[in-house]
Structure 1
Amino acid sequence: MDLPIILKNLLEAQENFDSNSYSECFSDDPKVFDEGKTHKGKEEIKDWNEKTNEEYKTKLEVIDVFNEDQTTILTTKVSGTFDGSPIVLKYKFEIKNEKISSLKITD
C-alpha cells in the first residue's frame, strides 16, 4: 500500500509503543477524536496514546487505504487487550504540510 511517509512514521511509532514519536507526527495544533472525546495539542495526544498503549497494548494492521477529498482513510484491524479484540476501525487523517492536523477514529 502506498501510504504517506507521515502515516508510515505514525504506524511505526505505534508498533513500538513510542508515544513521543507518535505525537511528533502531528502538527502544532492537532486534534484527535476517539471514543467520544477530543484530544487537542501534541501533549494531550501524547498522553492519550500513552494511556491507550498501557491499557490496551494496541496493535494496528492496515487493511485498506484511500483518499476522499482532503482526507486519507486507513481501514485497520485493531487488536489489543480490550473486549471484542480484534475490531475493524477507520482512521481518518487530514494531513497538511506533511504533518497530521486531524485524526478521527470511527467504526
Structure 2
Amino acid sequence: MQLPRPIQTYFTARAPQDGDALAAAFAPNAIVHDEGHDHRGPQAIRAWWLAAKAKYRHHARPIDVTDTAGRTVVRATVTGDFPGSPAVLTFTFGLAGDHITDLGIG
C-alpha cells in the first residue's frame, strides 16, 4: 500500500526515539483531534503522541487507504493496552505538500 510520505512517517514512527520525526511530519499550524481533545502545533502533537504511546503502548497497522473529498482516509488495526484491543480505527488526514495539516482519529 502506497501512503504519502508524512502519513507513512506517522504510522512507522516509534516512541520515544522518533518523536522529532513525527513532529516534523506536521505543518506548523496542524491540529490533531483524538478522544475529544484538540492538539495544535507540532510540539503539542508530539507531546500528545508520546503520552498516548506511553499510556496505551499501541501500534497501528494500515489496512487500506482511500482519497475522499481531498482527504486521505486510512483504516488501521490498532493493537495495544486498551479495552477492545485490537480495534479498527479510521485516521482522516489533511495534507498540504509534505506535511499533515490535520488528523482526526475515530
Q: TM-score, normalised by structure 2?
A: 0.93
Secondary structure in 1 matching 2:93: strand
User: What residue number does 1:101 align with?
Assistant: 101
User: What residue number does 2:24 align with?
Assistant: 24
Q: TM-score, normalised by structure 1?
A: 0.92
Alignment of 1:50-65 (within 5 A): 50-65=50-65
Secondary structure in 1 matching 2:84: coil
- Quote the Cα distance in structure 1 between the aligned partners of 2:49 and 2:12: 13
The one-letter code matched in structure 1 to 2:29 is D
- Quote the Cα distance in structure 2 between the aligned partners of 1:79 and 1:69: 28
User: What residue number does 1:8 align with?
Assistant: 8
Alignment of 1:38-49 (within 5 A): 38-49=38-49
Secondary structure in 1 matching 2:49: helix
Secondary structure in 1 matching 2:60: strand
The one-letter code matched in structure 1 to 2:22 is Y
Q: How many residues align?
A: 104
Secondary structure in 1 matching 2:55: helix
1:78 matched to 2:43? The reply is no
Pairwise CA distance, 1:58: 1.4
Across the aligned residues of Structure 1 and Structure 2, the Cα RMSD in angstroms comes to 0.9
- Quote the Cα distance in structure 1 between the aligned partners of 2:79 and 2:105: 14
- Quote the Cα distance in structure 1 between the aligned partners of 2:84 and 2:20: 28
Moved over 2 A (4+): none
- Quote the Cα distance in structure 1 between the aligned partners of 2:90 and 2:12: 18
Where does the alignment leave 5 or more consecutive residues of structure 1 unmatched? none
Where does the alignment leave 5 or more consecutive residues of structure 2 unmatched? none
